[in-house]
């Protein structure tokens, strides 16, 4: 059995290789990682409760390796092969995000690990978007884009061969996994040479900047890698001192005692020199930097309340004002673990304390009694997914004003899943299953 390397180990090697590559390609990413590490160390030093909570949930170790990336692809076939590639690393498509509502011509999923042990080991995620070419309204341009996409292969031949080998053998040896990581990385590398002439690029860019980004290059370059911080407000504040210019607003919920879901901010995409096939030179803006702060995952009721309050709050021009306004609006949202749990607003994981191990739950004892007696501990489950409104904000801050598609047409999860070759997993079902499993492990009947 152990002749093969585990999917978790391959994922960790891959995410490290990708981080090293991106650091070379985009030096600001390295700067941002250093800043995040410094702020995280301070936050842990200053807040022993936070440190204890993360330590209890076994999250301290994963903090420094934790990051997510994002890519955009052009065809169903590319998406389907990516599904195989990520599966080798124990990453599966979770959730469906329709971004056309925000004027962006893509729909997306997140490839990520799903089970407890894998998440603890390394929760590396990749937000993956598929272009919706039907939103290119010029017919001849649409055909041209399809032709260009049909002619390219974003995977190396050896990468394809190793995917086939993995399917056939049921795993990869250490040496094969090493080779796989090197080959797979090629798909995500930046190319300073566009695969099209400057005229085609201009025409596609005019339709939508994202269309040019997806269609005009030989690979699906990683467009950002995002480290996880424990204090996003602090990092946002310090970014200019490191020569990094953040976007105006931090996306997502306000700062809270018990952080919920996901808060994100980014720095604007870089204008990078490229050479077209006809030898003309130009620039392309695609790659940027982002940081995130993760909090507890919300149940469907909690999420509905979050969505309602967020849309009530709207958007602002100034971060400080916006954060204050958000904080006021979110005052109605409970901000302590007990209430979040008792009102069924957030997902938790339960385990027996020392005391609980010594005196295990007896039949008829209620969960609340056991928690009050300190025999069962309830720990918030970290949110492992993304937020469509925030993602739209991140996309838009990099696209500028003119990048709105005219009419979105009906986005369809079914079309996306047909392209992917399988159904996306339902994130709520995953959180619920983890909660139920943890109760069962305590010897308690799921609620």
- Residue with CB nearest ligand OOG? 391
Interface segment toward ligand OOG; rule CB under 6 A; list 162-170, 201-209, 303-311, 388-396: 388-396
> What's the CA gap between 377 and 367, in Å, rounded?
10
Cβ of residue 224: shortest distance to ligand OOG, in angstroms? Answer: 6
Q: Which residues make Cβ contacts (< 8 Å) with residue 113, sequence separation at least 6? A: 8, 11, 90, 91, 92, 119, 121, 122, 123, 124
Strands 125-131 and 67-73: parallel
From ligand OOG, Ni ion, none, interface partner of 223 (C-beta below 5 to 8 A by class): ligand OOG
From Ni ion, ligand OOG, none, interface partner of 233 (C-beta below 5 to 8 A by class): none
Restricting to residues 68-97, name those near Ni ion by CB under 5 A: 70
Length of the chain: 447
Q: Is 239 exposed, middle or buried (0-12, 13-18, 19+ CB in 10 A)?
A: buried
Which of 7, 269 has the CB closer to ligand OOG?
269
Among 207, 223, 299, 438, binds ligand OOG (CB under 6 A): 223
Q: Please, are residues 422 and 414 in contact by the beta-carbon 8 Å criterion?
A: no
Tokens, residue 175:
């040496």
Note whether 395 binds ligand OOG by CB under 6 A: yes
Q: Which residues make Cβ contacts (< 8 Å) with residue 73, sequence separation at least 6? A: 79, 82, 128, 129, 130, 131, 154, 214, 220
> What's the CA gap between 84 and 75, in Å, rounded?
15
From Ni ion, ligand OOG, none, interface partner of 395 (C-beta below 5 to 8 A by class): ligand OOG
Note whether 127 binds ligand OOG by CB under 6 A: yes
Among 136, 260, 310, 391, binds ligand OOG (CB under 6 A): 391
Which of 122, 129 has the CB closer to ligand OOG?
129
Tokens, residue 96:
């469906």
Cβ of residue 252: shortest distance to Ni ion, in angstroms? Answer: 12
Which of 225, 298 has the CB closer to Ni ion?
225
Phi then psi dihedrals of residue 313, to 5 deg:
-70, -30
Residue closest to 332 by CA, chosen among 308, 365, 353, 300: 308
Which of 316, 388 has the CB closer to ligand OOG?
388
> What's the CA gap between 46 and 333, in Å, rounded?
26
Note whether 386 binds ligand OOG by CB under 6 A: yes
- The CA R_g of the chain, rounded to the nearest whole Å, is 23
Q: Please, are residues 238 and 229 in contact by the beta-carbon 8 Å criterion?
A: no
Which of 226, 293 has the CB closer to Ni ion?
226
Please provide the DSSP assignment of 281-307 as one string.
EEEEE---EEEEEE-BPBPHHHHHHHH
Cα 22 from chain centroid (whole Å): 16
Q: Please, are residues 77 and 301 in contact by the beta-carbon 8 Å criterion?
A: no
From ligand OOG, Ni ion, none, interface partner of 391 (C-beta below 5 to 8 A by class): ligand OOG
Q: What is the DSSP letter of 57?
A: T
Interface segment toward ligand OOG; rule CB under 6 A; list 16-24, 162-170, 346-354, 391-399: 391-399
Which of 70, 387 has the CB closer to Ni ion?
70
Binding mask 165-204 for Ni ion (x = CB under 5 A): ----------------------------------------
Note whether 70 binds ligand OOG by CB under 6 A: yes
Restricting to residues 281-300, name those near Ni ion by CB under 5 A: 290
From ligand OOG, Ni ion, none, interface partner of 286 (C-beta below 5 to 8 A by class): none
Cβ of residue 362: shortest distance to ligand OOG, in angstroms? Answer: 46
Q: How many residues bind ligand OOG (CB under 6 A)?
A: 12
Q: Which residues make Cβ contacts (< 8 Å) with residue 382, sequence separation at least 6? A: 57, 59, 119, 294, 295, 296, 297
Restricting to residues 243-302, name those near ligand OOG by CB under 6 A: 264, 290
> What's the CA gap between 447 and 443, in Å, rounded?
12
Phi then psi dihedrals of residue 350, to 5 deg:
-110, 145
Residue 98 β-bridge partners: 107
Tokens, residue 342:
């008792």
Interface segment toward ligand OOG; rule CB under 6 A; list 73-81, 167-175, 387-395, 414-422: 387-395
Binding mask 210-239 for Ni ion (x = CB under 5 A): ----------------x-------------
Which of 205, 264 has the CB closer to ligand OOG?
264
From Ni ion, ligand OOG, none, interface partner of 217 (C-beta below 5 to 8 A by class): none
Cβ of residue 73: shortest distance to ligand OOG, in angstroms? Answer: 10
From ligand OOG, Ni ion, none, interface partner of 19 (C-beta below 5 to 8 A by class): none
Binding site for ligand OOG (CB under 6 A): 70, 72, 127, 129, 223, 264, 290, 386, 390-391, 394-395
Binding site for Ni ion (CB under 5 A): 70, 226, 290
């Amino acid at each position: 059995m152990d002749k093969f390397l585990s999917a978790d180990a391959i994922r960790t090697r891959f995410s490290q290789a990708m981080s090293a590559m991106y650091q070379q390609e985009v030096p600001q990413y390295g700067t941002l990682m250093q800043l995040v590490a410094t702020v995280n160390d301070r936050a842990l030093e200053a807040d022993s409760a936070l440190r204890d909570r993360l330590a209890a949930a076994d999250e301290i170790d994963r903090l420094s390796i934790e990051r997510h990336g994002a890519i955009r692809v052009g065809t169903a076939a590319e998406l389907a092969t990516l599904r195989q590639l990520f599966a080798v690393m124990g990453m599966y498509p979770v959730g469906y995000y329709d971004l056309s509502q925000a004027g962006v011509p893509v729909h997306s999923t997140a490839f990520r690990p799903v089970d407890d042990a894998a998440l603890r080991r390394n929760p590396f995620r990749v937000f993956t978007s598929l272009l919706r070419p039907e939103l290119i309204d010029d017919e001849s341009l649409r055909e041209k884009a399809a032709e260009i996409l049909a002619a390219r292969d974003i995977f190396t031949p050896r990468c394809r061969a190793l995917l086939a080998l993995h399917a056939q053998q049921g795993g990869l040896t250490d040496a094969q996994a090493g080779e796989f990581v090197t080959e797979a990385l090629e798909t995500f590398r930046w190319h300073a040479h566009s695969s099209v002439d400057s005229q085609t690029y201009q025409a596609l860019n005019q339709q939508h900047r994202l269309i040019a980004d997806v269609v005009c290059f030989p690979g699906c370059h990683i467009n950002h890698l995002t480290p996880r911080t424990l204090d996003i407000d602090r990092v946002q504040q310090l970014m200019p001192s490191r020569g990094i210019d953040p976007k105006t607003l931090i996306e997502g919920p306000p700062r809270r005692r018990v952080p919920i879901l996901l808060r994100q901010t980014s720095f604007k995409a870089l204008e990078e020199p490229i050479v077209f096939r006809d030898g003309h030179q130009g620039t392309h803006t695609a790659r940027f930097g982002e940081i995130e702060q993760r909090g507890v995952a919300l149940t469907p009721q909690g999420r509905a309340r979050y969505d309602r309050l967020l849309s009530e709050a709207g958007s602002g021009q100034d971060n400080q004002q916006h954060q204050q306004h958000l904080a006021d609006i979110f005052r109605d949202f409970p901000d302590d673990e007990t209430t979040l749990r008792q009102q069924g607003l957030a997902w938790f994981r339960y385990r027996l304390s020392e005391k609980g191990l010594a005196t295990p739950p007896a039949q008829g004892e209620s969960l609340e009694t056991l928690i009050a007696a300190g025999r069962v501990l309830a720990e918030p489950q970290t949110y492992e997914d993304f937020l469509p409104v925030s993602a739209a904000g991140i996309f838009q801050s990099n696209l500028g004003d003119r990048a709105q598609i005219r009419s979105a047409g009906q986005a369809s999860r079914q079309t996306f899943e047909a392209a992917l070759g399988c159904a996306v997993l339902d994130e709520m079902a995953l959180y619920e299953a983890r909660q139920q499993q943890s109760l069962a492990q305590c010897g308690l009947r799921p609620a």
